[in-house]
Structure 1
Amino acid sequence: MTGSVIHCGWMFPQLTSFVPGRLCTSYAAIARPNCHSFGRRKSYLLTTNCFSDVAAVTIASDHNYGNKQVISITPRVYDYLLTNVREPSVTSSWFFRILRELREETATMHGSQMQVSPDQAQLLAMLVQILGAKRCIEVGVYTGYSSLAVALVLPDSGILVACERDKNSLEVAKRYYDRAGVPHKVDVRHGLAVDTLNSMIENGEGCSYDFAFVDAEKRMYHDYFELLLKLVRAGGVIVIDNVLWHGKVADPLVNDKKTESIRSFNRALLDDERVSISMVPVGDGMTICRKR
């Protein structure tokens, strides 16, 4: 499946990447310069269907989409994709190795499915570079693979506020920040992300961040989004993971609380005229750029 991220009125080149058994999405929203006053511009949504691993190519069932051919990601196709992923770094193969070692160590841990895939980390790092971001936020760090990928491409004066409630996984992340030589770029915040984000707003940090990535408690997406909308500047980007939730949101027979919460969030964002959005099947996330 392919998708494009809409950022500040620019259309980025099409991006393709998938995880077997997972469907990944990102939203993009564009914000006004005045953080407290928003225009009435339309939001944009790129949607895709959910597909199985069986067929290599599927035709979209709705003829209104022009019988679009969409590739299904089989294990063979995904293996090919991963052989063409360059894990984010600055210049040195040493950084590639550190990212790979962190990914492989995390794969042996409980909850390893929470780690983003290499292709998603590559996309996050590229978005940060395209945006020229210097101040970033991550909600849900786990063992630090995605935050390390972002920290590596930030300028030396850049900062990433890393919010994580699990102390044990955060210790793994900090160990790899040290190994990669980027601890000065990562402001680790142990605790509930909502508390951290609220304190940042109270400290006068509103509209001072360029980029945010959310991969945390799904039932809190509405809260995270509203808080980040106060912290991310006009034209900044917010990436929300898991908005397709492994395809569950498209299955009417699945009605658990997390799935319903994500459906509700997606519907609310579709109608939110403060932002422009793009749902991209990468890492189960959604990229959001605030309107100018």
Structure 2
Amino acid sequence: MAEQQQSGENVSRHQEVGHKSLLQSDDLYQYILETSVYPREPESMKELREVTAKHPWNIMTTSADEGQFLNMLLKLINAKNTMEIGVYTGYSLLATALALPDDGKILAMDINRENYEIGLPIIEKAGLAHKIEFKEGPALPALDKMVEDKANHGAYDFIFVDADKDNYINYHKRLIDLVKIGGVIGYDNTLWNGSVVAPPDAPLRKYVRYYRDFVLELNKALAADPRIEICMLPVGDGITLCRRIS
């Protein structure tokens, strides 16, 4: 009982701190950041992270450890042509741009250009803006047009989704055609504040409770999709990598 109580206190304290790691120990998460993330974080990413921290919606940003992970992953798979759905101020976008070769491209879509423009001066100062094509507006209509053109099928090495969770399934139905065989789709927030294992009567924040069922539906669908191999990682708020195999 005492261990359960201590565990509950750790979870509560973790939620109050506000970082996205699901580690039970805040000290351990801080150790990861201070030992391997912050010392290697590019100056431009540090600047954008600090600017974003002052924004009232800063909980939407990609965590620093996940940014480092994405940057490494893109280099490992030699990504060149990528897409990002859900940009916010552009921290994960910057991590991607830094990883791509000079002629690499990112199609970035978000319904809010104003947030993107918070990070844009930093991206420009880093000399990376030429890699990014930003499209403002809902992603689904744009994806539908892309899918209609067979030339776009299999055109993307990597796609990162960190947007409206209630549309993740709809995104997947379209993105599976746009990513190449052997390419990767990454879905962010697939552990959704740990709520995916919370009991039905758990005291969850309203937005967490609302989107939980959509995240659970996505996770079940990805696990059953024979066209992909998957790996769910407890990085940030959970990220599921999907490697297209057919």
Q: TM-score range by the shorter chain?
A: 0.7 to 0.9
Deviation readout 1:105-160 (Å, 9 max, x if unpaired): 10010210111111100111111100000001111000000000110110011001
For 1:226 and 1:251, how far apart are their aligned partners in 2? 28
Taking a change above 3 Å as real, the CA distance of residues 111 and 221 of structure 1, as seen in their structure-2 partners, is same
- Shift of the alpha carbon at 1:52? 5.4
Q: RCO greater where, 1 or 2, for CA within 8 Å and sep 6 or more? A: 1
Q: Does the alignment pair 1:79 with 2:13?
A: no
Asked if the contact 1:151–1:160 (Cα under 8 Å) also holds between the matched residues in 2, the reply is yes
Matches within 5 A, 1:1-292: 54=10, 72-86=23-37, 96-203=42-149, 204-253=151-200, 256-283=209-236, 284-292=238-246
TM-superposed CA distance for 1:175, in Å, is 1.9
TM-score (norm 1): 0.71
Q: Deviations over 1:235-285 (max 9, x none)?
A: 001110011100111113159441111111111111111111111101222
> Deviation of residue 53 (structure 1)?
6.6
- Give me the TM-score of the superposition, normalised by structure 2: 0.84
Contact 2:183 2:243 in 1 (8 A): yes
Q: Name the structure 1 match of 2:17.
A: none
User: Given residue 214 of structure 2, which amino acid in structure 1 is its aligned partner?
Assistant: S
Match of 2:215, SS state, is helix
SS at match of 2:42: helix
Q: Percent identity?
A: 36
- C-alpha distance in 2 between matches for 1:132 and 1:277: 19
- 1 CA distance for matches of 2:209 and 2:90? 28
CA 154–72 in structure 1, closer or farther in 2 if over 3 Å, else same? closer
Mark the runs of 5 or more structure 2 residues left unpaired by the alignment.
1-6, 12-21, 203-207
Q: Which has the higher helix share?
A: 2
Q: Secondary structure of the equivalent of 1:277?
A: strand
Structure 1 unaligned spans of 5+: 1-50, 56-70, 90-94
Shift of 1:200: 2.4
RMSD: 2.1
Q: Is the 8 A contact 1:140 1:215 kept in 2?
A: yes
Amino acid at match of 2:169: H
Q: Is the 8 A contact 1:211 1:238 kept in 2?
A: yes
Secondary structure at the residue paired with 1:54? helix
- The code of the aligned residue for 2:243 comes to C
Distance between the aligned counterparts of 1:252 and 1:277, measured in 2?
Answer: 25
Q: Deviations over 1:26-84 (max 9, x none)?
A: xxxxxxxxxxxxxxxxxxxxxxxxx75739xxxxxxxxxxxxxxx94412111110012
